[in-house]
Structure 1
Amino acid sequence: MAARPLLLLCFVAAAAAGVLQARAQPDSKGFISIDCGLPGKTSYVDDTTKISYAADDGFTDAGANRNISAEYIRPRLSRRYHNVRSFPDGERNCYTLRSLVAGLKYIVRATFIYGDYDGLNRLPVFDLYIGVNFWTMVNITDPGGPQLIEAIVVVPDDFVHVCLVNTGAGTPFISSLDLRPLENRLYPHVNVTQGLVLLDRRNFGPTADTDVIRRDMIRADRLLGDMYPDDPHDRAWLPWVNPAEWLEISTTRTVENTDDDKFAAPSAVMQTAITPRNGSTSIEFLWESAPQPKDPTPGYVAIFHVSELQLLPSSAVRQFYVNLNGKPLLDGSYTPPFLLAGFVYNPSPFTRYPQYNISINATANSTLPPIINAVEVFSVISTATIGTDSQDASAMMAIKAKYQVKKNWMGDPCVPKKFAWDRLTCSYAVSTPARVTSLNLSSSGLSDDISSSFGNLKAVQYIDLSNNNLTGSIPDALSQLPALTVLDLTGNQLSGSIPSGLLKRMQDGSLNLRYGNNPNLCTNGNSCQPSKNKSKLAIYIAVPVVLVVVIASVTVLLFCQLRQNNQGQNNNGRCLTWRERLRIALESAQGLEYLHKGCNPPLIHRDVKTANILLNARLEAKIADFGLSKAFNLDNTTHVSTNTLMGTPGYMDPEYQATMHPTTRSDVYSFGVVLLELVSGKPAVLHDPEPISIIQWARQRLSQGDIEGVVDARMRGGHDVNAVWKAADVALRCTAPASARRPTMTDVVTQLRDCLELEKRSRGGADVNTSNPSSSYSTYATDHSTDASQNNTSFEMEHNFGRMPSMASGPAAR
């Protein structure tokens, strides 16, 4: 049978999404749907699908709205393709999609209809980026033909940029932009360093080219369509019809997805299929490689969706092989399941060929010809390039939004380097994120107060805000920027006292502070004193917290001194056992529970990490370093408002980073990272080879059931696998992105006690201090200062555990 080429997908899927909330946030399904070039802040609901499309005003602040020429507006062309946003100025222009879930997989889809919107009849070519990674080249070859570009990627932050880059071959433009969330179990090829770009997605079995499965299946000249709501992920499945060579099979019965389904093909697609006509034993088709300027030989992934739609007699057999360029794709044959969505795919990208010939052949034992319901083909792209440090990037985007800075401030602030924002200097390293080191906004027309977000630029050395119209007081957060050497605030309308921290740094010579020509700014503080009542109130609030900090600091200093004097005596180079690690985890959890529930006022630690857990000679754990702790009123509030983001990268709660409101659940998140370190023996941020959070690293393995690939191999199997699973599960629930889904520390203590009981019952031996009366955290007490002085030795957990050399992944699950 002659091979039929698999056409490149150049048809537009009609965008489907729910109503966008205020400030351009995803709808209740997590969808974002943008009609690019729609005027102002308007939106509309599609008459047929009841889906709302928002104008792109809240997503980009560059470009111009234009309408396509009337000759290209056909009666059935969907409304959102009547206009485009064009970007004649600047090399890189970006959309920013916000309020996403960091670490989640998303479908990102851009569509383009040129329609001679500029009257030049000049078809452009330009580049498209997802974040800081190259996505694809957009090559418009037909002025009235729609073009769809779709990718599946992991979004590393709670936002993603989609950028159009002018390469000198025409003005970039865009018609629509969509984003759809996916469960992380789907499309296993996609991870933090690799994404998929759609080449084609086809539905076999419809009897006509118009059979795009959808309520408005023949809209937009019978070519534009997708499957929402039949496909909850809103993927476009276009019909492939060839009645001369294929026999169509269909059913009205539901085709179910299995529990381990990795692709979730919808029932509406799986209800139709094809087999070869005329007694042939094979189905054949092909596609050709589509080189990209930055990837001349891309790798490909193909997914063949297969389901048996006919109830076969017992004597009938349908088995087949799938071959690529004459070589088997599978180790054996495949039998499609009855009314279940089966699939065959290549786990790794195909060896790179100029042409890919697929042949589906019946086996010698098969009494029936092969069958196929649908196919998806993707090229593989790298998403390994690291953007600007997420805290720096978030701070710069907040500064841009507050002061409505235009300039070329689009996309990532520092990466790629040639697109770095104007008047911004960044430092670049090979394997760590770029950092903002210098920011010059002198004479930029800034008004309002000084944004607290400047205080989140922890690597910045130089800030120039001179000759603007800034008002209000100088935030104390600026005094806590460790690398800052020059701060220029001259020529503004600032008032109040200069923070003492800045004055101290100016006096000791570590900071060049320039503050002239601010008439209402006080330097001696006498004329800026608050009223006595306010001062007394501040004292009443501050004294208890200061006392706690002082006591804790003295304890930590004593611990550190003892550690230096008595540290090869107790460690002896050995690795902590699983039972010892569980006890450390439990006692640390009890310490945090005490801070949250037993202290008066209750405290949020704000810097939970392995380095702040101390071990005495008996390996009993103590929470230390309360320098960042904050008191809160348990009766009236659940969080503390702060102006400065505090904590350690790798341990910081992403919700706290976004809201600046630390809660007890922020400590829970950090403790979850510590617990994963105890289980795996790995640091909070791994280099695998690129930086990756231990949370993402562990989730990837645990989602595949690979607990032994997570557990520290240096424990040499000396652990109960159920106890390890339970502890890892507790850690993952502690690090849930949404704080409302995290347990309390009281819950964590209970679960870790259960882990110890599992370990005890499985491996025998004495109980391991699940309620040791000598533990300072067994009950809520009021004074633990003497406990440290009674120990002969103490040392940081990092010295005994956290800084051990990293290892390769452990063995497969037992």
Structure 2
Amino acid sequence: MPHQPFACSMEQSTPRTMAATPWLLLLLLCLAAGGVLQARAQPDSKGFISIDCGLPGLKGYANETTKLSYATDAGFTDAGTNHNISAEYVTPSMARSWYNVRSFPDGARNCYTLRSIEPGLKYLVRARFKYGNYDGLDRPPVFDLYVGVNFWTVVNMTTRGLTLIEEAIVVVPDDYVQVCLINTGAGTPFISGIDLRPLKKTLYPQATAAQGLVLLARFNFGPTDETAIVRYPDDPHDRVWFPWVDAANLAEITTKNRVQNVDNDLFEAPTAVMQTAVRPRNASRNIEFYWEAEAQPNDPSPGYIAIMHFSELQLLPDKAVREFYVNLNGKPWYPEGYSPQYLYTGATYNTVPSRHSRYNISINATANSTLPPIINAVEIFSVIPTTIIATDSKDVSAIMAIKAKYQVKKNWMGDPCVPKTMAWDSLTCSYAVASAPRIISVNLSSSGLSGDISSSFANLKAVQYLDLSKNKLMSSIPESLSSLPSLAVLDLSGNQLNGSIPSGLLKRVQDGSLTLRYGNNPNLCTNENSCQPTKTKRNSKRAIYIAVPVVLLVVIVSVTVLLLCLLKRKRHGSMNNSVKPQNETTTSYALGSDVGGDSSLRLENRRFTYKDLERITNNFQLVLGRGGFGYVYDGFLEDGTQVAVKLRSHSSSQGVKEFLAEAQILTRIHHKNLVSMIGYCKDGEYMALVYEYMSEGTLQEHISGNKHKRECLPWRQRLRIALESAQGLEYLHKGCNPPLIHRDVKATNILLNSRLEAKIADFGLSKAFNGDSDTHVSTNYIVGTPGYVDPEYQATMQPTAKSDVYSFGVVLLELVTGKPAILREPVHVSIIQWARQQLARGNIEDVVDARMCGDYDVNGVWKAADIALKCTAQASLQRPTMTDVVAQLHECVELEKGHVGGDTNSSSYTSGNVNSSTLSYGAYATNQSADVSQNSDAFEMQHNFNRVPTMPTGPAAR
């Protein structure tokens, strides 16, 4: 028997799952088809967008009952194929919107874009799914659903005929929102329909810019008709309220009088819902129902928000009292007895998400009550983080316009940069903490572009590299490109451009800020002078005051530079039709054939002599540490900058090859979480690398307690170190070209500066790999440190990026537990094995470093430990990528922020110390009344109640 995650019953009666109720068998009335409307990608006058996905053609229709207009999805997505569900799943009572679907067999991510909405407003987003064996495969798929760039839920079509609705309430930051289907390898994603409904900013205050609400259930207590669904127009927000019918145990109470909301109502439950309620048939018993937490892939213990709606529907005689308690898991939900007011809406709700494995709600009469308890309606939501920042909206608008103009057929769906694992092909983005990602590189070479150069390229204000070469672009080069402040390389070669190079670009070329390539454009620069920088006129009077020695010096320098340029051109050849920067700001030093025989090796950092090293280290006086390469010495440059000098020992097992590898890598990687190389020394037999100074030493020293000048690291600091280290590794795997595997990730190779910011160090064992296919790197021997080495790498001699993930998982376990990679007492055992055994018992306190004294969010620590165990899975295919790890650690940080910033209880009403600022209810009055007829419009819907947590253990209920 499956779990029964949401049920309602009398006290001591057998719980009855909602899956057993007849209305979930889809025996509902048909939505009649009305007038035909033109498909549109705009909200209607109410701000509603209603999409019938997979509807053929360009014309929509209006529903006779609700009068809501349904559009085809042609204006919302440009991918996928239309299908009809199998005839055997079509019934006379089925709504028209379920007849067809759109499926997406191609691409990892496919999205619908809903535009012309108000930024910062709160929206209800609803996605509808009915598999109906549309593909004839009899294989219902499982896939992920995202709202914008944030994970929404897992869509699990467990049976072919199942009708599933997913609903979320989110704050939309931009003037558009995307609903994205993510192929996770468990079947082809599809969708039946999408609804978007605007909500007032004051409604559902639990939905904020940082968190969204995902509907688990919304029930109307009291109707006797199992098809009596309340929605628009009875609910102006078009929420869907399903009837809860339990005639055996619950007696209904109804009224035709209007139950009205007042100004600033937080939920605005509709009158049609509030006009019905239930009470126990046996007045001495309670109203009880429960639900179970549904684990999500990125949140094994999600938080929940519950809203219970109450209104007194009977005019009570004198001395009659209806007062009751609402309890959660045997503890008061609200500290006092609650009496609903006559024809006034009211609610009890929590504002801080509650985290339990099971939620048992009991409503029982107080000792003073002469009447049994009642309830009118309930809404249950889980909470999802919405803290991931989407790509800068101006960049998105620009690249979307470029996509539309050239009909780009690459994998350009959803947000261009986020999530990083699904960033658009041919784009590179920059990612900064707490700010929107920016597009910094666009490579559309050989992409079949035709026509003129889009003016939208000039709106990519952060772009540094723009390659439009080898296309069929015509017309002239737009002057607007010269206004791009960060553009460093512009490649327009191999097109059919004409005219001249704009003066603004020529000026950028002349001042050295831009490299411009424009060869193989036959009609460009046909006038010899049209592509030459304008020569600046010198002030002849100024020449009188120039001293003769200075003139001679300028002449000498000019002649020298000219000779060097001629020699360089003779040696390396010239680049045809390429305008080069005129003032190089970095110097390239060739190590030459005396170093490993590679005359092409060039390093763009400062070159030190051995005497320089003696001077800056005061004759190698102070040793900072020692590794396989040799000793690391403390030093100071001429300007007082403190540095670390790693000098290769003559007896070192790491020789010229490792030195060159690390030197080459460090010259081309630049990231705030990677240690920077200031310079190098290759002076005869002496080899050294000069790094930025990391005053707080290694992470291992802090974990072990050997760093006496600082106390034990608190959990929030450990989390930040873990996140920063993960970001450094992610850059190696995704941000480098070619990508790199570190191959020696460990706590001693993570260094901390004075602000305790983490940086990855020691790249002597790093190797490049094919980032596109994530293939292995062939090696002849195993490198790394015992306790951190990937067992799959040990078995195959072929490391992958997942080998670094494994090693990082060990480091993360060290941060959680405070223990070394290999525990030596009573017997040698891996920290992974030890942690798995301890966590299997379900008690996180036995695993967490006791020196942190319990100062942490228990769910955040659980999540971090779970990430570590996933990273250290035996099979590399089961491990996440570093991009996944970074995203998960961001969520841990958010959990810890909640712990540090406020009440340490995850849900204050479970502690018994409840105040009105955390849990509250309202009682609102009105003298108005009116008859309200039930809405007969049927809306097929089945909530996904039968999902059960996949984690065998987890945080204890708190």
Distance 2:12 2:307 in 1: 22
* Aligned counterpart, 1:312: 316
Does residue 329 (structure 1) correspond to residue 333 (structure 2)? The answer is yes
Does residue 457 (structure 1) correspond to residue 460 (structure 2)? The answer is yes
Q: How many residues align?
A: 516
Is the contact made by 2:324 and 2:373 (CA closer than 8 Å) also made in structure 1? yes
Match for residue 85 of structure 1 among 102, 120, 127: 102
* Aligned counterpart, 1:163: 180
Superposed displacement of residue 119, structure 1 = 0.6
The code of the aligned residue for 1:170 comes to: G
| Secondary structure in 1 matching 2:360 | strand
* Aligned counterpart, 1:37: 54
Superposed displacement of residue 46, structure 1 = 2.6
* Aligned counterpart, 1:739: none
Superposed displacement of residue 467, structure 1 = 2.2
| Secondary structure in 1 matching 2:482 | helix
Unaligned 5+ segments in structure 1 are 214-226, 529-688, 691-814
* Aligned counterpart, 1:229: 233
Q: 1:80-109 CA deviation, whole Å, 9 max, x = no partner?
A: 111111111111111111111111111111
Is the contact made by 2:35 and 2:62 (CA closer than 8 Å) also made in structure 1? no
Report the more deviating stretch, 281-290 or 185-194: 281-290
Match for residue 200 of structure 1 among 203, 214, 217: 217
The code of the aligned residue for 2:154 comes to: M
Distance 1:502 1:44 in 2: 52
* Aligned counterpart, 1:366: 369
Does residue 484 (structure 1) correspond to residue 487 (structure 2)? The answer is yes
Distance 1:26 1:515 in 2: 45
* Aligned counterpart, 1:186: 203
Report the more deviating stretch, 395-404 or 43-52: 43-52
Q: Quick one: structure 1 residues 23 and 248, their matched pair in 2 at CA, closer, same or farther if it must change by over 3 Å?
A: closer
Superposed displacement of residue 421, structure 1 = 0.4
Does residue 507 (structure 1) correspond to residue 510 (structure 2)? The answer is yes
Superposed displacement of residue 210, structure 1 = 1.8
| Secondary structure in 2 matching 1:395 | helix
Superposed displacement of residue 149, structure 1 = 0.5
Distance 1:328 1:18 in 2: 53
* Aligned counterpart, 1:732: none
Does residue 257 (structure 1) correspond to residue 261 (structure 2)? The answer is yes
The code of the aligned residue for 1:392 comes to: D
Does residue 346 (structure 1) correspond to residue 363 (structure 2)? The answer is no
Does residue 381 (structure 1) correspond to residue 384 (structure 2)? The answer is yes
Distance 1:360 1:260 in 2: 27
Is the contact made by 2:37 and 2:61 (CA closer than 8 Å) also made in structure 1? no
Does residue 172 (structure 1) correspond to residue 224 (structure 2)? The answer is no
Q: Quick one: structure 1 residues 71 and 125, their matched pair in 2 at CA, closer, same or farther if it must change by over 3 Å?
A: same
* Aligned counterpart, 1:2: 12
| Secondary structure in 1 matching 2:232 | coil
Q: Quick one: structure 1 residues 15 and 6, their matched pair in 2 at CA, closer, same or farther if it must change by over 3 Å?
A: farther
Q: Quick one: structure 1 residues 468 and 488, their matched pair in 2 at CA, closer, same or farther if it must change by over 3 Å?
A: same
Distance 1:124 1:48 in 2: 32
| Secondary structure in 2 matching 1:360 | strand
| Secondary structure in 2 matching 1:398 | helix
Superposed displacement of residue 150, structure 1 = 0.5
Between 1 and 2, higher relative CO (CA 8 Å, sep ≥ 6) is seen in 2
The code of the aligned residue for 1:251 comes to: T
Match for residue 273 of structure 1 among 266, 274, 277: 277
Is the contact made by 2:31 and 2:64 (CA closer than 8 Å) also made in structure 1? no
The code of the aligned residue for 2:216 comes to: L
The code of the aligned residue for 1:265 comes to: A
Distance 1:523 1:327 in 2: 85
Match for residue 476 of structure 2 among 467, 473, 478: 473
Is the contact made by 2:35 and 2:61 (CA closer than 8 Å) also made in structure 1? no
Distance 1:446 1:276 in 2: 70
Unaligned 5+ segments in structure 2 are 1-10, 532-892, 895-958
Is the contact made by 2:111 and 2:414 (CA closer than 8 Å) also made in structure 1? yes
Q: 1:367-403 CA deviation, whole Å, 9 max, x = no partner?
A: 2111111000010111111111222122111211221
Match for residue 493 of structure 1 among 491, 496, 507: 496
The code of the aligned residue for 2:264 comes to: D
* Aligned counterpart, 2:360: 357
The code of the aligned residue for 1:327 comes to: K
* Aligned counterpart, 1:604: none
Q: How does 1:576-615 map to 2 (within 5 A)?
A: none
Does residue 27 (structure 1) correspond to residue 23 (structure 2)? The answer is no
| Secondary structure in 2 matching 1:74 | coil
The code of the aligned residue for 1:331 comes to: P
| Secondary structure in 2 matching 1:58 | coil
Is the contact made by 2:31 and 2:94 (CA closer than 8 Å) also made in structure 1? no
Is the contact made by 2:496 and 2:522 (CA closer than 8 Å) also made in structure 1? yes
Q: 1:695-739 CA deviation, whole Å, 9 max, x = no partner?
A: xxxxxxxxxxxxxxxxxxxxxxxxxxxxxxxxxxxxxxxxxxxxx
Q: Quick one: structure 1 residues 184 and 148, their matched pair in 2 at CA, closer, same or farther if it must change by over 3 Å?
A: same
Q: Quick one: structure 1 residues 446 and 379, their matched pair in 2 at CA, closer, same or farther if it must change by over 3 Å?
A: same
Is the contact made by 2:481 and 2:505 (CA closer than 8 Å) also made in structure 1? yes
Q: Quick one: structure 1 residues 523 and 191, their matched pair in 2 at CA, closer, same or farther if it must change by over 3 Å?
A: farther
Q: 1:743-780 CA deviation, whole Å, 9 max, x = no partner?
A: xxxxxxxxxxxxxxxxxxxxxxxxxxxxxxxxxxxxxx
Q: Quick one: structure 1 residues 56 and 73, their matched pair in 2 at CA, closer, same or farther if it must change by over 3 Å?
A: same
The code of the aligned residue for 2:126 comes to: R
Q: 1:546-570 CA deviation, whole Å, 9 max, x = no partner?
A: xxxxxxxxxxxxxxxxxxxxxxxxx
Q: 1:288-340 CA deviation, whole Å, 9 max, x = no partner?
A: 11111221111111100111111112322111111000111112221112112
Superposed displacement of residue 429, structure 1 = 2.3
* Aligned counterpart, 2:416: 413
Distance 2:450 2:371 in 1: 76
Match for residue 136 of structure 1 among 132, 150, 153: 153
Superposed displacement of residue 61, structure 1 = 1.2
Distance 2:160 2:261 in 1: 40
Q: Quick one: structure 1 residues 480 and 275, their matched pair in 2 at CA, closer, same or farther if it must change by over 3 Å?
A: same
Distance 1:411 1:11 in 2: 35
Report the more deviating stretch, 406-415 or 445-454: 445-454
Residue identity (%):
68
Is the contact made by 1:182 and 1:233 (CA closer than 8 Å) also made in structure 2? yes
Is the contact made by 1:198 and 1:379 (CA closer than 8 Å) also made in structure 2? yes
Q: Quick one: structure 1 residues 15 and 132, their matched pair in 2 at CA, closer, same or farther if it must change by over 3 Å?
A: farther
Q: 1:476-502 CA deviation, whole Å, 9 max, x = no partner?
A: 221111110111122333344432211
Is the contact made by 1:32 and 1:180 (CA closer than 8 Å) also made in structure 2? yes
Distance 2:360 2:530 in 1: 83
| Secondary structure in 2 matching 1:57 | coil
The code of the aligned residue for 1:234 comes to: D
Q: 1:274-300 CA deviation, whole Å, 9 max, x = no partner?
A: 111122252111111111122111111
Does residue 398 (structure 1) correspond to residue 408 (structure 2)? The answer is no
Is the contact made by 1:11 and 1:146 (CA closer than 8 Å) also made in structure 2? no
Superposed displacement of residue 42, structure 1 = 2.5
Superposed displacement of residue 18, structure 1 = 12
Report the more deviating stretch, 379-388 or 281-290: 281-290
Distance 1:358 1:266 in 2: 23
| Secondary structure in 2 matching 1:501 | helix
* Aligned counterpart, 1:73: 90
Distance 1:236 1:282 in 2: 27
The code of the aligned residue for 1:288 comes to: E
* Aligned counterpart, 2:848: none
Q: Quick one: structure 1 residues 206 and 460, their matched pair in 2 at CA, closer, same or farther if it must change by over 3 Å?
A: same
Report the RMSD for the aligned CA atoms in angstroms. Answer: 2.5
Q: Quick one: structure 1 residues 10 and 467, their matched pair in 2 at CA, closer, same or farther if it must change by over 3 Å?
A: farther
Is the contact made by 1:6 and 1:286 (CA closer than 8 Å) also made in structure 2? no
Q: Quick one: structure 1 residues 92 and 527, their matched pair in 2 at CA, closer, same or farther if it must change by over 3 Å?
A: closer
* Aligned counterpart, 1:288: 292
